[in-house]
Amino acid sequence: MIEEENNQETDIEEGEYENIPKSERKILTKKSDPEIRAICERIDKKRLIVNPEFQRFYVWENKPEIKSRLIESVLLNIPIPIIYTSEIEDEREEVIDGQQRITTFHEFKNNKFKLFGLEILKELNGKKYEDLQPLYQDMFLDRDLTIIKILKESQKDIKFEIFRRLNRGSISLSEQELRNCIFRGNFNNLIKELAKNETFLRLQGMDKPHKRMKDAERILRFFAFCDKGEHNYRSPLKQFLNNYIEEKRNLSDKELEVKRKLFKKCAELCEQVFGKLSFRRYYLDKESEGFVDKKINEGLMDIQLYGFMEYEKKDVVGKEQTIRDTLMDFLVLDKELEESIEKGTYGTPQVKLRTEKWFKILRRIIGYPKEDRRLYTTEEKNILFKKFEGVCQICKNKIHSIEDCHVDHIERYSEGGKTIIKNGQIAHRYCNLSKG
């Protein structure tokens, strides 16, 4: 069964851009007026990408009248709307608005279709580009178009919003589809690979990856919470995920493999413990024994997946029923936990509350992870504070209070570093968070 399609939220989150300095709230662009001839050459040389992964398919393929009238407009010198592109690496560009128009020009230049249904230049009906008189061929190729290129130095969050606003299709791009365009790299490729994971597909009630990349965003959230932790989360969610995926765009093979194994393990543990109840709310009904919501609850999914990151399968064996029953009971009895997954799901307090409550439950049932745990204990933090005499190992200045102290992994946890005394150092909270 395929998970039902939900309407995409397009509203800007409250306070979304308040933390961006006003001087940086801008998009850097460059305007040009190339001829259709030059545009087609750039497409042939793969310098202009007309069909990036985030774009819709060429929906005019079977609409000869629309394509033909566009060509007629060019020949009649009728204004053509501005085309927007985005600068990527190696001085290449991707079309972000105008795909259908540019594809039509390129296909006509390459004799892919005949003109049809023209009402003004009727004598051209039935002709391909190669059939036109040289005068018309030159008129077509010499016609210039206005292109506005969004430069790669543009502020990333504002650029993200511009991409969304320029997407004028009948179905707006989801935020993850936009990330798939803007933040490409081997980490993004890994996310798309893991969206095909059979266990994860089963848990979501899907038989193939979500066509709007909803599952990819779920995987990105999982990794972001694993690496950053709920204590470092600040709403809005969109910026949190944008910052994280930009930071992780290109990873070492070692870190990619660590992440691949971590996600696979956590998905399998969710199936082992929760089975068909994975990611779904349980409701108590006075007239029955209760029922399970068929719809995925995103906040619940996060803590179920993220909660197992520090545990191995051997730690959980024999405790599955207890973990499952305890969560079901808490969702009924703990109103704070219930509200944190139902109202303002990705507000900063809600994320921290539900994660901390669930981690405490797991600690009580399973115990503190003996191997590969992410967090240092209070005792270890005190030992390291004394070891380094309260001096931040990043900025080398004094940390005046242990409450302002973070324990930093010398070898990153996400790259296989262990949570042990010899791999720990103290740092100011700000210094450690700035380090990423």
Mean pLDDT of 366-382: 74
2: in domain? no
Q: How far apart are CA 10 and CA 6, in angstroms?
A: 12
User: Does one domain contain both 349 and 394?
Assistant: no
Mean pLDDT of the 326-331 span: 86
Other Cβ atoms less than 10 A from the Cβ of 286: the count is 5
**Mean per-residue pLDDT of the chain:** 84
- pLDDT given for residue 180 in this prediction: 83
Cross-strand bridge partners of residue 398: 391
pTM of the full predicted structure?
A: 0.63
- Strand (E) positions, 50-150? 83-87, 93-97, 147-150
Q: 382 and 337 share a domain? A: no
Q: How many CB atoms lie within 10 A of CB 119?
A: 10
**Structure confidence by residue, pLDDT tens digits, 70-110:** 999 999 999 998 898 888 888 889 888 888 899 999 999 99
Based on the domain organization, do 41 and 138 belong to the same domain? Answer: yes
Nearest-angstrom CA–CA distance, 11 and 18: 15
> Tens digit of pLDDT for each residue in 192-251?
999 999 999 999 999 999 988 999 999 999 999 998 888 789 889 998 999 899 889 889
Q: Which of 116-125, 145-154, 180-189, 427-436 has the lowest mean pLDDT?
A: 427-436
Whether pLDDT at 403 is above 70: yes
Considering the domain architecture, whether residues 104 and 193 belong to the same structural domain is answered as no
Give residue-wise pLDDT tens across range 297-307.
Answer: 999 999 999 99
Is there a domain that residue 218 lies in?
yes
Instruction: Check if the beta carbon of residue 113 is closer than 8 Å to that of residue 107.
Output: yes
Max CA distance (Å), the chain: 89
pLDDT for residue 2 is more than 80: no
Report the first-to-last Cα separation within the chain, whole angstroms.
39
Same domain, 135 and 233: no
Together in a domain, 186 and 294: yes
Range of the domain at 415: 378-435
Same domain, 103 and 182: no
206 and 132 together in one domain: no
Same domain as 272, residue 150: no
Share of the chain above pLDDT 70, in %: 84
Whether 12 is covered by a domain: the verdict is: no
Burial class (CB in 10 A: 0-12, 13-18, 19+), 401: exposed
Work out whether the CA dihedral 193, 198, 201, 203 comes out positive or negative. Answer: negative
pLDDT > 70? residue 404? yes
| 111 & 244 share domain | no
Residue 166 has pLDDT above 60, yes or no: yes
* Number of domains observed in the structure of the chain: 3
